[in-house]
Each structure stands twice: as structure tokens, then as C-alpha cells.
Amino acid sequence: MLDTHARKHVQPMVEKTADYLLKRGLTADSVTKIAFIIGLSTGVFIYLDQPLIAIAALWLSGYLDVVDGTMARKTKPSAWGTLLDISFDRMVEISVILGLAFRFPESMWALLLLSVSIIIAMTVFLTVGALSDKQGMKSFYYQAGLAERTEGFILFTLMIAFSTYLTVITLIFLAMQIITILQRMAEARKILK
């Protein structure tokens, strides 16, 4: 929801960062890889009980993930870059979930359910994107929903910062994912029939 509706407010800063990195000779794919490495470290920092560093790494990786897409659109977007971007996003999410699960094993069952919901939500998202004739500003049709990447980062941040309430926050995230799945399935039914 925030990715779809609030992007216009942060896009000027993203554009400036993208232009700066392009002038320094970086490519969209190289920034994707940097964001991935920083994002993967989030789970390690969670496990090592360094929540502030984990949150900083998560948001820096997320910001660079937005910047790399803008860089690609300013140069030459590639199907390979899209594949890297989407795959690395899921691996960063897995890193966060694994870091939390190993640090707080009593919440592992809720984190497992959240993982399943993310898999289902992404399966619907990617399948609709692949099958739809609609085009967006990205290289495929982007289905909006209640829980998009920014909402996920906000909830992951809450999960890391307020680990005493990890199970409750995880179940709220799960509920949002289920609503998103239902939203995307309803839209898919309309556009794919």
C-alpha cells in the first residue's frame, strides 16, 4: 500500500541517489548486490542481539533496493536484473525471519506461518505479473496490496525492536499477508478471466 501510494514523496531523493551512484560508475546490478549483502547481514545482527544495527542494515538495504530500480530505468533495465532484485528481496526477508527464529525459538511457529504466507503472496504476485497483459513502470505488472515491501519493513522493524511482542507482531503481519493474498486473488480473477 505504501509502496504504491507514497512512492511519489520519496522518489525525488531516490532519483538524486540514483544519479549520484550512476555518476560514480555503479550499475543497477551492482547496487542490487550491495543491497543484498547488507540485507543478509540483518539476520546475523538479529541473532547476535544487535537490534539497532539490524534495523539500520534492513532499511539501508531496502533504500538501495528502491534506488537500483530507478538506476535500471535510467539506463537499461534487464530481465536478469529483475530476477536478481526479486530473488534477493526474498532472501533478505528469509534472513530476517531466520535471525528472529534462531534468536527467539519460542516464536518459531508464528514465523513459520509468516514464511508460508509470504511464499503464497509472492507466488500470486509473480504469477499475475507474468500472466497479465497490463504493464506498469516496472518490468512486469505490479499488484498493489495491503502488505507491500515497506509495510513488511515496518513490521520487521517492530519485530526486531519489540521482541517481547514478537509473536503478536508476527501474527499481525500474517493477517496482513492473508488480506493481501485475498486482495491479489480477487484482482487476478478480474484481470485474468
Longest dimension (CA), the chain: 49
- Distance in angstroms (rounded) separating the CA atoms of residues 20 and 97: 32
- Distance in angstroms (rounded) separating the CA atoms of residues 6 and 151: 11
Domain that residue 51 falls in: 2-192
- Lowest mean pLDDT, pick from 45-59, 100-114, 132-146, 152-166: 132-146
- CATH code for position 70: 1.20.120.1760
Q: Which residue has the higher pLDDT, 135 or 113?
A: 113
Residue 137 clears pLDDT 60, i.e. is over it: no
- Lowest mean pLDDT, pick from 15-19, 33-37, 121-125: 121-125
Residue 8 in grid coordinates:
511519489
- Which one-letter DSSP state was computed for residue 138? S
Q: pLDDT at position 78, please? A: 87
- 102 in Cβ contact with 47 (< 8 Å): yes
Residue 70 in grid coordinates:
530507478
Q: How many domains does the chain have?
A: 1
Digit-coded pLDDT (tens) for 99-115: 999 999 999 999 999 99
Q: pLDDT at position 140, please? A: 62
